[in-house]
Amino acid sequence: MSEKDNLQDADGNDILNKEDIAPEESVANDQNLPSDNITTTENTESSVTAEDSDNKLEQTAPEAPKPEAITETPSTEPEDAETEKISSEEIPARKKDAYVEEIEESNAEDAEDDSNVERHNLEEKDYHSMSMDQLADEFESLMKTKKVQTIKSHVEEIRTEFNSKFSEILEEKKDDFISEGGNEIDFFYSSPVKKRFNSIYNDYRNKLNAYYKTLETNLKSNLENRLRIIEDIKGLLNVEENINTTYKHFKDLQEEWRTAGPIPRDKYNNAWNTYHHHVEIFYDFLHLNRDLRDMDFKHNLEQKLKIIDRAEELAKDDNSNRAFRELQVLHKMWKEDLGPVDKEHREAIWERFSNATKTIHDKRQAYYADVDKAHEANLVKKEAIIAKIEEVAKDEVSSHQAWQNKIKVIEGLRTEFFNAGKVPIKVNEATWAKFKGAVRTFNKKKNTFYKNLKKDQYTNLQKKLELIKIAEDNKDNDDFETVTPLMKRIQNDWKHIGHVPRKDSDKIWKRFKAACNHYFDKVNAERNAADQEQVDAFEKKTKLLDELKELKLSGVPEQDLETIKQKTEEWNALGQVPQNKRFIEGKFNKTVDGLFNNLKLDKSKVEMIKFENKLESLSQPDDTRLLDNEHHFIRKKIDEVKGELNQLENNLQFFSNIDESNPLVKDVLKNIENHKENLAVWEEKFKKLKELY
């Protein structure tokens, strides 16, 4: 095949050069079956060839015009004895195979508007898995880049998916509205993406209506023009003029037919069959000039063989959809652009072309069978996802966090559902309804939980408002000793009350925080003023402690005891030291204990004096923790001493004859006496401590 012979297919591949299909000297637009396979009647609408049977497919375009049916007058046959007669009584018309009818049906639809071929080349996308925003973007892109009449199927699929997704959200918002106490009749919901989508769709409808209005006029005009051309071809048989002039006139009419424009799809096959019938009759009329006819037959045979070769190549292509689209182009060229061939080749070349067509058709059917299997597999996936959603909905939980976790799980399952792919059309609506039902059941339980939760949150709100009132009433109170524990208590209570409605949460927290901060800022200001006094007290106590370590007692107990008391009173008079410097109190007590140990006084008396000094250091006006710890320690020591004393007295009962001269008995009795003295001291300390409380 020469470079000149190349013609591009639907995907841009070279097939044939249309310039070689209908040269000026050829007779185009005829069918190429043996003449004895052509049936004609008085009504030329029933005329067919092996490639165009009388089983015409009636199709209706959207809003397409409906012109009057094509009617013909009985054809005039040449009176020459050599004229090949065509009779419907000799051989019946051959019925076309289904796979040929499928292509002719599609070509008839495309013939209504040349731009309809563009719809075959639109990319197929998984609109089901897209979000509403993505669907609106896709719709807008189609409107900007494609002809409005070519995107109908894509628009319908996009619209169906968008409405399904919006319907689901609408139902959820409606349930939320009602669960919050709203009246169903008052419910209304819209969204920016919905308004945007509606705007794009309205623009699409307006443009599509305008297109069909223009198309209706054009189709009607083109059909009338083609019927006139057919009548003119019929009239050539009755014109008395030079055969070459008649042939030239015939070629002009053929060219006019090619450029006559689209006609209604339901009239396409009928018009072409009628046209071919009268072209064939004209060929019979041309038998007087056999050289001219044979030249056309030869040319048409060469071009049809090229078409067959390309069809057989396409039969090997694994992309069945691409092959089918190009096969449509080949059939259209065979039908519309090429005339007949010699009778001896007609059956053979049609058989080859038909076989290649069947192979492509079968591969395409196998492809769709695989697609159906994939859709069945997707159905199984979606059924499993729906079952998971139903299982999650059944699981009973009673906390906000648990419900939030379940909501995340459901959102993940929804995404899985949309990404699972298409299901068979016959179960698509049922599957979608089942999915929505499962999600809606979950949402109802979720809404019921949060409706009850809102009641609890309202109760919590009232409790927190009461705490706010306490905080605001006391924020300027200067009775720090009384109010500080109160403010700390209500802060702790606030933490344990629980959630309040989200719309009130920030507002009431800011009020409560402001009142508490105001109070504690005052407390801190007071403490900061006292901090310097505590630092000064620490420096003075450090000097006093150094002096105490160097103190020399006189040896007179009463006099030394008075000296120690004076130093202790002086120490306590210096006041508190900073929190991080309180270790100096322990050093002081240790030093004083050493001084007391050097006094020759009763041990119990010394111990009580030491304890009284210790209590002085433990007493803090704003902190009772040290006294509390001492209280707990003394109680524990009393219990321990009592336990040991009881054990010793029990042990003494094991002696049958208590002889105080016995060293062992003597030791036990002494130990009991020491514990009693020790217990008396601890009880006296506990008494002193209780007096402080």
* CA angle centred on 64, ends 202 and 326, rounded to 5°: 95
Strand-pair partners of 8: 14
Q: How far apart are CA 115 and CA 150, in angstroms?
A: 7
DSSP string, 120-152: HTSPP--GGGS-HHHHHHHHHHHHHHS-GGG-H
Domain that holds residue 66: 3-112+219-370
Mean pLDDT of all residues in 233-244: 82
Task: pLDDT band for 96, please (50, 70, 90 cuts).
Answer: low
Q: For residue 545, is it within any domain?
A: no
* Amino acid making up residue 58: E
Structure tokens at 679: 């217990």
Query: Is the pLDDT at 153 greater than 80, yes or no?
Result: yes
Task: pLDDT band for 353, please (50, 70, 90 cuts).
Answer: very high
| Residues 285-344: tens digit of each pLDDT | 766 567 767 787 888 899 999 999 999 999 998 888 889 888 988 988 888 788 788 888
Q: For residue 688, is it within any domain?
A: yes
| Residues 171-212: tens digit of each pLDDT | 778 877 776 667 777 788 888 999 999 999 999 999 988 888
- Among 98, 78, 74, residue whose Cα is nearest residue 88: 74
Query: Is the pLDDT at 133 greater than 80, yes or no?
Result: yes
- Among 31, 24, 28, 74, residue whose Cα is nearest residue 51: 31
Task: pLDDT band for 157, please (50, 70, 90 cuts).
Answer: confident
- Among 23, 47, 44, residue whose Cα is nearest residue 33: 47
Q: For residue 488, is it within any domain?
A: no
Burial code (b: 16+ CB inside 10 Å, e: under 16) for 45-67 equals bbbbbbbbbbebeebebeebbeb
pLDDT at 601: 67
Most confident of 197-206, 260-269, 521-530: 197-206
> 108-112, 120-124, 276-280, 315-319 — which is least confidently predicted?
108-112
Q: How far apart are CA 264 and CA 221, in angstroms?
A: 10
Q: How far apart are CA 651 and CA 427, in angstroms?
A: 93
- Among 417, 601, 21, 448, residue whose Cα is nearest residue 254: 21
Residue position matching structure tokens 């030291």: 577
Residue position matching structure tokens 């198309």: 215
Angle formed by the axes of helices 343-394 and 320-336, nearest 10°: 150
pLDDT at 28: 32
Q: How far apart are CA 159 and CA 164, in angstroms?
A: 8
Backbone angles phi, psi at 514, to 5 degrees: -65, -45
When comparing pLDDT for 284 and 314, which is higher? 314
Q: For residue 534, is it within any domain?
A: no
pTM, full prediction: 0.44
Query: Is the pLDDT at 514 greater than 50, yes or no?
Result: yes
When comparing pLDDT for 386 and 690, which is higher? 386
Please, are residues 343 and 297 in contact by the beta-carbon 8 Å criterion? no
Which of 370, 404, 439 is the last residue in one of the domains?
Answer: 370
pLDDT at 391: 92
pLDDT at 467: 94
Structure tokens at 329: 């182009």
Backbone angles phi, psi at 684, to 5 degrees: -65, -40
pLDDT at 381: 94
Q: How many helices (H) and strands (E) does the chain have?
A: 19, 0
> 5-19, 51-65, 407-421, 512-526 — which is least confidently predicted?
51-65
Residue position matching structure tokens 């059917």: 365
Structure tokens at 154: 């894509």
Burial class of residue 506, CB neighbours in 10 A (0-12, 13-18, 19+): exposed
Q: How far apart are CA 686 and CA 618, in angstroms?
A: 14
Mean pLDDT of all residues in 431-450: 88
Query: Is the pLDDT at 52 greater than 70, yes or no?
Result: no
Q: How many domains does the chain have?
A: 2
| Residues 620-658: tens digit of each pLDDT | 666 677 778 888 888 898 888 888 888 888 877 776 666
Give me the chain's average pLDDT, please.
77
Q: For residue 390, is it within any domain?
A: no
Strand-pair partners of 14: 8
> 315-319, 356-360, 450-454, 519-523 — which is least confidently predicted?
450-454
Contacts 24+ apart (CB under 8 A), 641-649: 641/675, 641/678, 641/679, 641/682, 642/679, 644/675, 645/672, 645/675, 645/676, 645/679, 648/672, 648/675
Residue position matching structure tokens 């609106």: 136
Please, are residues 47 and 93 in contact by the beta-carbon 8 Å criterion? no
Q: How far apart are CA 485 and CA 491, in angstroms?
A: 10
Q: For residue 575, is it within any domain?
A: no
User: How many of the other CB atoms lie within 10 Å of CB of 680?
Assistant: 12
Burial code (b: 16+ CB inside 10 Å, e: under 16) for 557-592 equals eeebbebbeebbeebeebebbeeebeebbeebbebb
When comparing pLDDT for 404 and 608, which is higher? 404
Find how far residue 112's CA is from the centre of its chain. Answer: 40
Q: For residue 347, is it within any domain?
A: yes
Which of 370, 386, 402 is the last residue in one of the domains?
Answer: 370
Backbone angles phi, psi at 8, to 5 degrees: -80, 145
Q: For residue 162, is it within any domain?
A: no
- Residue 376's contacts (CB-CB under 8 Å, 6 or more residues apart) are 423, 424
Query: Is the pLDDT at 2 greater than 50, yes or no?
Result: no
Q: How far apart are CA 29 and CA 20, in angstroms?
A: 14
Which of 370, 395, 414 is the last residue in one of the domains?
Answer: 370
- Among 358, 286, 355, residue whose Cα is nearest residue 30: 286
Mean pLDDT of all residues in 564-580: 84
